[in-house]
Amino acid sequence: MPEIKAVAKSAPNARKDQTEDVTSAGDAPVTLFADQPERVRKINELRKLIQNYDDCERRSDELFLCRFLYCCDWDVQEAFGRIVKLIKLKEANPEWFFHKPIATYSELLNRNVKFALDRRDRRGRRVFITRLGAIDFSSMAVTDLANLDDIWFELMLNELETLESGVTCLIDMSGYSLKSFRFLTPQNIRIGSAKTDLLPLKNIEFHVVNSSVFMNAAIAILYPMLSKKIKDQVRFHYSNWASLHEYIPADILPAEYGGTAGKTFDFQTIHGQVLDRANDFDRLLTYGVRDGSAPTATAATAPIVSKGKGGKAKGKHREAEKKKSLVGCTVEE
């Protein structure tokens, strides 16, 4: 079985001795909450639901399951329903999710459009930055941006501290142009909004800076299609750095955002958070593969262990799934 090296609770740039190996084996002992039997019971209950869902190999280590239990206040059925919706969204729109060996994303990562800082804010939240002015609309697709989101959130959600505290998103609109409007199709907005709604994170905020006339026009198109949950978490600071620093402290931001942490970001350290964990990311590509299929990854993948026998589906949910078809970005409520 693939092993996932998970940071149980530590700073983003944790040392190796601060990590633990978490497996997705069905009988794997729960180690994150050994002194909390009720949480152990719920983790194991959710694991069984996932393992019996279909004939695919699904990730079911405790840290992964805790993502959904945390954001659903430890309601097992609600967490399971959220995972199922995410599975269906990914199966209907695979190109919107991380699906290739991480090395193939190196050039895209180096464009510095989206990235997570290696330091947290005062509330212990990870800080995720999106610089829309850095997008090259002549060579990038909206799915490239979605894949970057997937990669960085996979990194952040593999930390227990992030599950407990949340993520603060900084969206920089400087340089945003009319060319971006080609991304704002109803289909793209629906899929992107559905994916954001299903993000297994209870606490997330969006802080918009360097807004412009173009941005205001884009918001007029996008805003009505966003869920109330997302709308309630969006704050606009324009170029008021004092206002921004109430949420993201100046000492972790560079001068371009009114900060004191140097002239610009330390991208070598930032990119290393992902590229130094290439094997861990590539192992994730073995999940969601059906019997008789090969994983997408071409490097550093572990063997796939089938749950079914003779290629037959397993679990009470599989029969119902055969009767349903997925179209576009449909997600069952």
Q: What gap in Å lies between CA 79 and CA 46, rounded to an integer? A: 8
Per residue in 50-70, is it b (16+ CB within 10 Å) or e — as a string? Answer: bbebbbbbbbbbbbbbbbbbb
DSSP string, 164-176: HH-EEEEEE-TT-
What architecture is the 104-286 domain classified under in CATH?
A: 3-Layer(aba) Sandwich (3.40)
Contact 296, 29 (CB under 8 A): no
DSSP 3-state assignment of 130?
A: strand
- 304 or 181, which is more confident? 181
Q: How far apart are the first and last CA of the chain?
A: 32
| Interval 74-133: pLDDT, tens | 999 999 999 999 999 999 999 999 999 999 999 999 999 999 999 999 999 999 999 988
Domain limits, the chain: 37-92, 104-286
Contact 199, 85 (CB under 8 A): no
Q: What gap in Å lies between CA 141 and CA 93, rounded to an integer? A: 14
| Interval 28-64: pLDDT, tens | 555 788 899 999 999 999 999 999 999 889 999 999 9
Q: pTM for the full model?
A: 0.76
Region at 265 (left for phi over 0; alpha for psi -120 to 50; beta for the rest)? beta
